[in-house]
Amino acid sequence: MARPFNFSAGPAALPLELLEQAAAEMLDWHGSGVSVMEMSHRGRDFMSICELAERDLRELLAVPSSFRILFMQGGGLGQNAIVPMNLMGRSTSRTADFVLTGSWSIKSQVEAQRYGEAHVAARVGIERPVRLPPPSTWQLSAAPSYVHLCSNETIDGIEFQGLPDLQALGCDAPLVIDCSSHIASRPIDWRRVGLAYAGAQKNIGPAGLTLVIVRDELLGHALPICPSVFDYRTVADQGSMFNTPPTYAIYIAGLTFQWLKRQTESALTGLAAIEARNIAKAKLLYDCIDASRLYRNDVDPSCRSRMNVPFFLADESLTEPFLAQAREAGLLQLKGHKSVGGLRASLYNAMPIEGVQVLVGHMHAFEANHG
Ligand SMILES: *Cc1c(COP(=O)(O)O)cnc(C)c1O
């Protein structure tokens, strides 16, 4: 029986071949006689799994050697507190700047207020279609400890297509990005980044693992109140083994990185192949929405998310019938986030183009019946 296509925003679908491999290795990993879940995190077997995962991630995302890769816990929201506790101490004024572009960046700014001054440098306007405020209009504070943005707003469907060059804006502070919902879907320009964090459960693996990729020079500035397990210096010095890391989630993430490295699309491989496929998937869906009179997306094409596509029916009373018929057609989890309503299709790396084709077919058929 074919599996349904799962458009969940997170925890999200994983590639079938990866789940099959994990199932095959569940009881006995590589002749070790035990499941990865049952291994000591300091034993040779798990250390090899963890080191390979880190090496593969570094290779896939072309992370420079001046950055450390940390495997942490606490999720994206945990980092909303952990980042200020680690970085706000870099400036005497304990100020950080925030660019508010949707629900997640607002949460980050609100949480940071517990640790210092969380200055709003810019926010998206209320006009539709939504456009990102151009960096030249940002009101950065004099000497912030860092500047934070969410590079893909999962709920609002807004994505930065390129990262701002803070130095060109006269700001020396490091840029911190919450890339939870589009990490490993496209390259990251590390020249512009000080720290990137991501919960794993959108594009990488199971919930419980949080990736932090941070410049060496940003370690060692934690505020005294920062718990040791969340002090980047401590975590980095201990190779993410200060305490027990989420071992099984790291193992699955490692399988995802191997899967990503195997991907090909025309002459492209790895991340380039996945990006090309993500562009094609998003285009297919946005083209369908834009050509229709029944469906609507409210984000300007300059900043539409490739990963999360929120859309609305012209007649809202059709939302429930749309979802019910979609479920029958094997299309799951298309309900919009409760804060915005409507519909949302998340097209993470593991969603094949065939899933989007079936969705678009369903949308055409539904419009023919109800349009
Ligand atoms: C899902 C998500 C989060 C939340 O992460 P948790 O792991 O639930 O704490 C944070 N930021 C973004 C952009 C997300 O998409």
pLDDT (tens digit, 9 = 90+) per residue, 60-75? Answer: 999 999 999 999 999 9
Q: Do residues 185 and 351 make contact, with C-beta atoms less than 8 angstroms apart?
A: no
Task: Tell whether the model's pLDDT for residue 358 goes beyond 70.
Answer: yes
Interval 114-119 mean pLDDT: 97
Question: Is 202 annotated as catalytic?
Answer: yes
Task: Tell whether the model's pLDDT for residue 78 goes beyond 70.
Answer: yes
| C-alpha triplet 9, 155, 247: angle, nearest 5° | 45
Residue 27: predicted pLDDT: 98
Residue 2: predicted pLDDT: 84
Interval 191-215 mean pLDDT: 98
Share the mean pLDDT of the chain: 97
Radius of gyration of the chain (CA): 21
pLDDT digits (tens, 9 = 90+) for 251-295: 999 999 999 999 999 999 999 999 999 999 999 999 999 999 999
3-state helix, strand, coil in the chain (%, to 5): 40, 20, 40
In angstroms, what is the span from residue 154 Cα to ligand 1's centroid? 8
Measured CA distances, 332 to 4, 93, 145, 327, 355 (Å): 7, 48, 42, 5, 10
Measured CA distances, 230 to 57, 83, 141, 293 (Å): 21, 9, 27, 49
**Cα separation, 210 vs 77, whole angstroms:** 10
**Cα separation, 49 vs 246, whole angstroms:** 12
Residue 1: predicted pLDDT: 64
The residue among 266, 272, 305 whose CA lies nearest residue 289 is 305
Residue 7, amino acid: F
Question: Is 104 annotated as catalytic?
Answer: yes
**Cα separation, 318 vs 55, whole angstroms:** 48
Interval 152-163 mean pLDDT: 98
Interval 16-24 mean pLDDT: 97
- Selected catalytic residue, list 56, 156, 178, 231: 178
Question: Is 178 annotated as catalytic?
Answer: yes
Interval 89-95 mean pLDDT: 91
Interval 314-327 mean pLDDT: 97
- Selected catalytic residue, list 29, 97, 156, 202: 202
Q: Beta strand 195-199 with 210-215: parallel, antiparallel or unpaired? A: antiparallel
Task: Tell whether the model's pLDDT for residue 53 goes beyond 80.
Answer: yes
For a ligand 1 pocket test, name from 111, 180, 201 the mutation site with the most ligand atoms within 8 angstroms of its C-beta. 180
360 C-beta closer than 6 A to ligand 1: no
Residue 88: predicted pLDDT: 97
317 three-state secondary structure: helix
Residue 91: predicted pLDDT: 86
